Structure 1
Amino acid sequence: MAIHNAAFFGAIAFLLGVAAASIGIAFGVYAAALAALGIGTVLVLRRFAADVTRAAIVVLVCVAVLGYFYFHLFAAATVPSTADKTFEALVARDPKRGDRQELTLSLRSPAAGSVVWYAPRYPAYAYGDVLRFSPEASVSLRYGRYVLRGDAVRTAEGAGNRLRGALYAFKRALVGILEAALPREKAALLAGLTVGERGEFSDEFKEALRVSGTTHIVALSGYNIAIVALAAGALFSKFLARRPRFLVTLSVIAAFVIATGAEASVVRAGIMGAILLLAKDSGRIYSLRNAITATAFIMALVDPSVLIFDLGFQLSFLALLGIVFLVPRIEPLVLRIRGVPAVLKEHLATTAAAQLAVTPLLLMSFGSVSLFSLPANVLILGTVPLTMALGFLAGFAGLLHGALAGLFALPAGILLSYQIGTIEFFGRLPQAGLAFIPSWFVVLPYYALLVFWVRWKRKPPHAAIG
């Protein structure tokens, strides 16, 4: 077995073990299923070199078992403890702001571990703040995350890592420049598109995003990483050699991921971008299949709970898989549509592929999916990359001089007006969509049909006789 195939199947086996442990499958049941699967695979592949096949199957089964125990060992090692005493906690990430603040806290001795704490919108907390909690504070496990409940008093500021604090401050400076250059609603959307900041969205606009099925456009993704990587590469190409430029570009991508909160979608895009740059720098062939699998493996290795308990992780990977594997199937159907510009056909194929991939998960998570999502996204997505680029240019130009931001904010504002108008138009329509929660007996056959559609090859027509 070639090493790239061995790595691919090994990563899949590890992820299988993590997933099985995450959903609470008993080890005896899991081991029996693995044994049956391994024996069945050997029997199916017996026409190949038996010794190699059996050895490979045994190794993969062992890796799948390793993934199972890795989840439990990681979970046991990361259980937070408050020690039933007054304790302090450091705000370990830039808070997520909305109707309330979501803070990731690193507990200090005598407590230990990492938790999430939900605080009122005010007073505003920041990365590096030290908070003191009373002994009455309690920790509970919710959807794979430990949530702290209790009241806190801020005792210190600026206690975090200086580099991380500087990255967060840089992001806030960019957002401030956009807010000064554009009206509030446009600045809020542009901040969401560029750095994932969603704290200034009005309740009405959030609802319009939900009804129109366009909430995902403010989830950072490959578009953002591509813009950052291209900008860094172009900037440093003037005075750095190839290898130093490669390392600096990787560092810029990492800094962007950290500064924007390291959410699942941008971490996934960042790792895949780094793998692409590494393949290009080393002269190796970039395998999208292996890059996707390696990215999921790395993220699960750092935090195995993301595989089952992080909806953003799941949606990000499912949408990517849909675009990669379903677009080639959908494109021939879309190309038959007459009277539609080619660019809209491309966006229709991409949007439909992503929607087909994520719809069951959205239904299971939220109980409904908007029917307006397809037309709204087709009309908006084509303008998003240029809007992002103009937003970054406005932010960086504003760092040089506030007046320069307006040069790029003006055209960005035109695009933002169109995007906001489209979102609000579909948001005002009577809600219509699928509204039910499917069971696994529906979801699994659905995805099996998608896999069959991707793998199915149309037989060539027989030549006419005579």
Structure 2
Amino acid sequence: MSLSVLKQRYIALMLFFIDYKVLILCFTILVTVISGSILIEKTIFNGVGFTSVGIFNSLLPSLILFLLSIVSYRVIMGVYFFRTIYIIFLLSSFLACISLYSKYEKVTSEIQKIHSFTGKNVWVTGVVTSRESSNTFLFDSGKGGLGSSLIRFAKYTDLHAGQRCKLSVKVVQPSSFSEFDYKRYLFRKGIYSILDVLEYECKNGGSKLLEIRYSLERVVERAIPEPESSLLIGIMFGSKRVFTDGFNEALRNTGVSHVIAASGYNVALVANGIDVILRRINGRFVNILKVFGILLFSIFSGFSASLIRASTMSSIYFFALFIGRYCNKFSSLLLCITLLMLFNPFLIYDIGFLFSFLSTTGLIFLPSCFEKLRRSKFVKESVLPSVISILFTVPVSILFFGKVSVISVISNILIIPIISGSIFWGLGATLLNFIFPSLKLLFLIPYVQLLIFKYFVQISSNIDMVELSINPYIFGIFIYLSIFIFCLIKYPISSSNYYISRVRYINDRKYC
């Protein structure tokens, strides 16, 4: 491909962005929210107020983006969109600042309330939302209580999600360890206090949906042994499960712990299931049922970050189909991410959320670049998506962990095709076994798949492989810039494409 054709495609992309102004708006909001959330965290943890320098630094990235946009359109295209981009910049900065200020006020208010109770014994009432370890649970006491907290028992306690508890607790501030900033980790998850339990009284009925989920989890636990049952429950419902220290270490070493969580694949199964059940009903009506089905499943599964992204994007997509509008997948994804970041700027620190967004972006664009290659169905449906997901998420992995393991990359490529089928078979077996308890044999297929997964993880974790320490920023820029150029060259675009035609028209006017 010649440089002139490459330039033509780049200009077509820029014209596309001007037509879809919401994309520029979303990019600017995201840049501002990300830099602003970093400023808020520093302000709270350093105990200082906002400074003019700090505010300017948080707006600087979006200002640079604004100037680059102006220069790109003026120099490369020879057209002037200053007024359009200026309005977008002001609007996006305004929305981002409102979101950040609202979040700051809410967080500081909650922290001040918790500070007033620190060191005191109090009674709180709320609902257990998930188990974190053998003796710690996430606990929601609502706005009238202490919000989302981590409750800690002296020893193993047999509680489960969905139970309503009345607790006598001592409120303590989270503290960090020598090698891990635990306080900051909890802060980013919206947890500002740890409650040491002195007395407790719990009963079922705190949350009907969580109780139903617990009943389905019990079906799996009775059908197959550990750790396979906990693996399957984590994959299907996103529930955090307790594994042995050895198996937890093996999961971390091989870099596959992220697969034990509910994800967009589950959302796709829900939508496909509604399609199969209601295939005789009018298509537009089915789309709105998919929105309700996805929402119900997300509530049921605890609204993990990856599920929030997948369910929001899917709901926007199906709602657009319901009202008869074409919906661009990337536009839906970017709009979804922007809305989520406006509501919770600290999602930027959730590695699962970032992995989900980046891998989905890769799966939207890159497969089309390989359409002319001859490959088997297995490579097309299993290997290629795994490689694309890893390619897009490796820079973020290095940013969070400071290094990347070769065994982690290889493990993800090999294990994801094996594990993906267990979601489908596991959900089907669980629902049928819930109705007909004698059909435990239905769990045979997911059990065998997870057995292979377990042994693969245990064997792989014992292999000494090279760990590469790389500058995450340089590596990330190199990877994403390379992907951008590759997509610009290889992405299939017809010569009669509307934006390509507009570029030719602009060029013809230049030389007239």
- Give the TM-score range, shorter chain: 0.7 to 0.9
Larger mean Cα displacement after TM superposition, 31-40 or 415-424: 31-40
Map 1:49-448 → 2, pairs under 5 A:
50=80, 53-79=82-108, 80=110, 81-82=113-114, 83-84=116-117, 86-92=121-127, 94-106=129-141, 109=144, 113-117=147-151, 122-125=156-159, 126-127=161-162, 128-134=164-170, 137-138=172-173, 142-143=184-185, 144=188, 145-153=190-198, 156-157=201-202, 165-237=207-279, 245-307=286-348, 309-329=349-369, 342-344=377-379, 346-406=381-441, 408-428=442-462, 430-436=463-469, 438-448=471-481
Question: Does the alignment pair 1:45 with 2:73?
Answer: yes
Deviation of 1:103 (Å): 0.7
Q: CA deviation at 1:441?
A: 4.3
Structure 2 equivalent of residue 463 of structure 1? none
Q: 1:4 to 1:225 in 2, by over 3 A?
A: farther
Using the TM superposition, give the Cα deviation of residue 278 of structure 1 relative to its aligned residue in structure 2, in angstroms.
1.7
8 Å contact kept, 2:288–2:319: no
Deviation at 1:19, TM superposition (A): 0.6
Displacement of 1:383: 3.5
Contact 1:17 1:65 in 2 (8 A): no
Q: 1:391 deviation in Å? A: 0.8
| Pairwise CA distance, 1:433 | 3.5
The change in CA–CA distance for 1:287 and 1:89 in structure 2 (over 3 A counts) is farther
Deviations 1:114-152 (A, max 9, x none): 444555662244433233434x53367514234313423
Output the amino acid matched with 1:152.
V
Residue deviations 1:65-115 (CA, integer Å, cap 9, x gap): 431342132121233113336544444562133344341433564x55444
Structure 1 position 396, deviation (Å): 0.9
SS in 2 for 1:197: coil
Distance 1:193 1:36 in 2: 41
Cα distance change on mapping 1:175 and 1:269 into 2, 3 Å: same
Contact 2:151 2:194 in 1 (8 A): yes
d(CA) in 2 for partners of 1:444, 1:91: 45
Partner of 1:451: 484
Deviates further, 385-394 or 122-131: 122-131
Instruction: Give the aligned residue type for 2:303.
Output: A
Counterpart residue identity of residue 404, structure 1: L
- Seen in structure 2, the aligned counterparts of structure 1 residues 290 and 117 have a Cα distance that, compared at 3 Å, is farther
How far apart are residue 425 of structure 1 and its match? 2.9
1:443 Cα shift?
3.4
Task: Mark the runs of 5 or more structure 2 residues left unpaired by the alignment.
Answer: 1-15, 40-52, 176-182, 492-512
CA positional deviation for 1:354: 1.5
CA distance in 1, matches of 2:17, 2:469: 44
Higher deviation after alignment, 69-78 or 388-397: 69-78
The one-letter code sitting in structure 1 at the alignment partner of 2:267 is I
Contact 1:179/1:188, CA 8 A, preserved across alignment: yes
Q: Which residue of 2 aligns with 1:28?
A: 56
Structure 2 CA distance for partners of 1:115 and 1:8, relative to 1, 3 Å:
farther
Q: Does 1:6 align with 2:21?
A: yes
Deviates more, 1:348-357 or 1:1-10: 1-10
User: For the Cα contact (< 8 Å) 2:131–2:138, is it kept in 1?
Assistant: yes
Q: Secondary structure at the match of 1:23?
A: helix
Cα distance in 1 between the residues matched to 2:372 and 2:124: 55
Task: Note closer, same or farther for the CA distance 1:203–1:441 as it changes in structure 2 (3 Å cut).
Answer: same
Q: Shift of the alpha carbon at 1:45?
A: 2.7
Preserved CA contact (<8 Å) 2:330 2:361 = no
Which stretch of the first structure deviates more once superposed, 396-405 or 371-380?
371-380
3-state SS of 1:66 partner: helix
CA contact 2:254–2:457 (8 Å) conserved in 1:
yes
Hey, what's the Cα distance between the residues in 2 that align with 1:293 and 1:32?
A: 21
**Is the alpha carbon distance of 1:453 and 1:223 closer, same or farther for their aligned partners in structure 2, counting shifts above 3 Å?**
same
Q: Deviation digits for residues 335-392 of structure 1, max 9, x if unmatched?
A: 58xxxx5414653322222222211221232233332234433333333343212111
Describe the shift of the 1:17–1:394 C-alpha distance in structure 2 as closer, same or farther (beyond 3 A). Answer: same
Contact 1:211/1:431 (8 A) holds in 2: no
User: What is the RMSD computed on CA atoms of the aligned residues?
Assistant: 3.4
Residues 71 and 87 of structure 1: is their aligned pair in 2 closer, same or farther, counting only changes over 3 Å?
farther
Amino acid of the structure 2 residue aligned with 1:443 = G
Per the normalisation by structure 1, the TM-score is 0.83
Amino acid at match of 2:221: E
- What does the per-residue CA deviation read over 1:311-347, in whole Å, with 9 as the maximum and x for residues that have no partner? 22112112222333344456778x58xxxx5414653
Distance 1:33 1:197 in 2: 37
User: How many residues were matched structurally?
Assistant: 445
Percent of aligned positions with the same letter in both sequences?
Answer: 22
| Cα 1:202–1:154 shift into 2, 3 Å | same
CA distance in 2, matches of 1:418, 1:426: 12
Q: CA deviation at 1:208?
A: 2.7
> Per the alignment, do residues 448 and 236 of structure 1 end up closer, same or farther by CA in structure 2, a change over 3 Å counting?
same
**C-alpha distance in structure 1 between counterparts of 2:150 and 2:19, whole Å:** 38
> What amino acid is the match of 2:22?
A
Deviations 1:254-304 (A, max 9, x none): 122122221111111111221232233233223111111122122113312
CA distance in 2, matches of 1:454, 1:3: 20
Q: Which amino acid aligns with 2:411?
A: A
Instruction: Letter of the 1:436 partner, please give it.
Output: S
Deviation, structure 1 residue 417: 2.8
Query: What CA distance in whole angstroms lies between the structure 2 residues aligned with 1:282 and 1:370?
Result: 47
